[in-house]
Chains A and B, each alone.
Chain A
Amino acid sequence: MAPRFKVSFFQYSKVFKNTTVISITILSFFLILFSKSDLFLINNIKSISSNIINPATYIISSPIKMASNIVNQYNQFKSLKFENKMLQEEIIRLKKWQTLAIQNSRENRVLKNLLQATDNNLNLVKTASLTNRNDALFSKLININAGYEDKIKINMSAINERGLIGKVVHTHRNNSRILLLTDPNMSVSVKTISDGSFSLLSGLGDDKYLVSSFIKGNKMPKIGDIVVTSGTAQIFPVDLLVGKIAKIKKDRFYVLPFVDFNNIDYVQIVTSE
């Protein structure tokens, strides 16, 4: 009769440890290799992290959020008097503009009827509020409280009252992630209002400027020109406000976005009709 082969607890635990270490290492490299693909596993990991872990981290970091709010309130209080004066001046200025805008709008409608032009009106999918932001360290991402249950899909445009914010890069049931215009991996095709020259803009990663990565026909626009989306890439609807050309260096121009990316509370998800 063959002797019984005894495996001690120590051996068991060593085998278990080695298996864990090797399997985690292999799984890590597998995830890194396929992270950009649309795998079910990767989508599920992203969904779990967005739906469960993201709110949990928000609750855990709430003391810092409170401190941040106190700093914000103090800053607002400090500049209250100055801001009040500025707002009074702005109200007077805007009232003049409003009268002019109403006149122009009527004129525009009449001219469109005469030309029988097709409208490029936007189709509002959903207005959502910002839940939290992950834009301080690497990528410029924000999270909103609306997902595919609200008919939000990947690549839809996000705007606010000032102009284009970015595009949807991930949707889950009740939340979505938006990649901001200022992200270096974001690219948007634009045209200038003055002469309609086309170019591609991408984020500089400094939270301030967008930089041209391609200019059609090497036709350099002027400083102060307003750029809007051209709609040629079929991602963003046409004529969404992007920003103003602030500086030109060598063969590139820098655009200052109209949107204040530090003060986003609500976003509208839109598509072209």
Chain B
Amino acid sequence: MFSKVLSPFLYFNIILLFSFSVSVNSFVEIQIVNIVFYIFFHLTFIYYLFYHYHYSIFCIGFVYGLLLDIFLLNSISAHLLSIIILILIFILMKKYLFLLSPFRISLTIYFTLIITLFSEAFFVFLFNNINFTISKFANYLIISIIIFIPSIFIFNKIDK
């Protein structure tokens, strides 16, 4: 449906840009939007990495990681580090991921999302001394569970 008009590459980049823009601008009245789009951005990036890997994703990851750090932390650290490590681990594990069934890949994407969010929070604590509460992580978990299936459905539609 989507792929008839524009290529998936362009769609994913538009989604990444929009979700990034929303997640770095706080909206006082509906603050949950920031968290939702922050998680959605990560999910889109991981899906894009898994299904459309190209070395140019290094540049995309570098730019987004850098900007997320500058806007959300005012110093370059957690996001850039996690994104670069994520891509490097993916390159190492790529050959094993090809053997997995679609369901297992979806599960892998979900767990990668959780691990990425958790590692970012850990790096933020390590580099920027910002504590991470259990309630905040529970919030992340619940939102990611809610948005995961609809997002994957939309991404599949874009890919087909």
* Residue numbers in A under 8 Å from B127 (CB-CB): 32
B131 touches A184 (CB 8 A): yes
* Residue numbers in B under 8 Å from A17 (CB-CB): 55
B131 touches A138 (CB 8 A): no
B26 touches A136 (CB 8 A): yes
A134 touches B24 (CB 8 A): yes
Contact A138:B72 (CB < 8 A) given known A65-B27, A72-B29: yes
- Give the distance to chain A from B120, nearest Cβ to Cβ, in Å: 9
B106 at the interface (CB under 8 A from A): no
Q: Give the most central of B25, B27, B129: most A CB within 10 Å.
A: B25
B74 touches A177 (CB 8 A): yes
A42 touches B76 (CB 8 A): yes
Contact A31:B31 (CB < 8 A) given known A133-B25, A134-B25, A138-B73: no
Contact A68:B33 (CB < 8 A) given known A21-B58, A134-B26, A138-B128: yes
* Residue numbers in A under 8 Å from B17 (CB-CB): 60
User: Which of chain B's residues 26-44 have a Cβ closer than 8 Å to chain A?
Assistant: 26-31, 33-35, 38
B152 at the interface (CB under 8 A from A): no
- Give the distance to chain A from B95, nearest Cβ to Cβ, in Å: 17
A28-61 vs B, CB cutoff 8 Å, 1 = contact: the mask equals: 1101100110000010011001000110111011
B26 touches A65 (CB 8 A): no
A102 at the interface (CB under 8 A from B): no
* Residue numbers in B under 8 Å from A31 (CB-CB): 66, 76, 80
**Which chain B residue has the least Cβ–Cβ distance from A133?**
B26
Inter-chain contact total with CB atoms closer than 8 Å: 130
* Residue numbers in B under 8 Å from A263 (CB-CB): 28
B84 at the interface (CB under 8 A from A): yes
| Size category, B interface | 35 or more
A58 touches B70 (CB 8 A): no
B71 touches A28 (CB 8 A): no
A64 at the interface (CB under 8 A from B): yes
**Which chain A residue has the least Cβ–Cβ distance from B20?**
A57
A134 touches B29 (CB 8 A): no
* Residue numbers in A under 8 Å from B22 (CB-CB): 60-61, 64
* Residue numbers in B under 8 Å from A101 (CB-CB): none
Q: Contact partner of A61 among B25, B58, B69, B77, CB < 8 A? A: B25
Query: Which 7 residue pairs spanning A and B have beta carbons closest together?
Result: A35-B76, A60-B21, A57-B21, A136-B26, A136-B34, A68-B27, A133-B26
Q: Would you mind naming 18 contact pairs between A and B with Cβ atoms under 8 Å apart?
A: A31-B76, A35-B75, A49-B70, A49-B71, A57-B20, A57-B71, A61-B25, A64-B27, A68-B29, A69-B29, A75-B29, A132-B26, A133-B26, A134-B25, A134-B72, A137-B23, A137-B38, A139-B73
